Amino acid sequence: MEIRAESTPNPNAIKFTSVNALFENRISAKKGESIDHPLASQIIKLEGVDNVFGFGDFLTVNKVSDVSWEDLLPKVEAIFKNYQG
């Protein structure tokens, strides 16, 4: 899946935009919550992810402050790459 990662005003959040629609409805989940969407479910389970929010063609991933994007970003991108939605 082709995605574009964009910074946001929040240094703990990155917005991932796809060329295809990812979600029909708004999705939102915090760490420890279950979510009925395979892509968001995989990402929220990653160590260091605090919450996710998505709608249409984007998903915003928020990390905990003591985790670096340098460590987390490749893991998030790998999930997008392998997602067959």
Model pTM? 0.94
Could you give phi then psi for residue 45, rounded to 5 degrees? Answer: -80, -10
pLDDT class of 2 with cuts at 50, 70, 90 = confident
pLDDT tens profile 55-76: 999 999 999 999 999 999 999 9
pLDDT class of 82 with cuts at 50, 70, 90 = very high
Q: CA-CA distance, 32 to 14, in Å (whole number)?
A: 20
**Degrees (nearest 5) of the Cα angle 70, 72, 74?**
80
Task: List CB contacts of 79: < 8 A, sequence separation 6 or more.
Answer: 39, 42, 43, 46
